Amino acid sequence: MKTVAVIALILTIIGAINWGLIGFFNWNLVAAIFGERNAISRVIYALVGLSGLYLIFVFGRLLAGFRGGA
């Protein structure tokens, strides 16, 4: 389970950096590397999104642990 969390964190960081590049410089790193609209880019975006959703649940469990819950 720890490996999944690390992979999710790495993918989410990559997504955050990509959004920062889009916001500050109007430059999409994923599109620059893999192409504007193709299957690989869509898979990367989907994995980043799933990673973010997974980390929401990890964060919830982490907060519960800090509060003395499960």
The residues spanned by each domain of the chain are 2-66
Which of these, 53, 49, 39, lies nearest to 14 by C-alpha position?
A: 49
Summarised one tens digit per residue, pLDDT across range 4-61 is 989 999 999 999 999 999 999 999 999 999 988 899 999 999 999 999 999 998 888 8
CB 66 within 8 A of CB 16: no
pTM of the full structure = 0.78
The crossing angle, in degrees rounded to 10, of helices 39-66 and 2-25 is 120
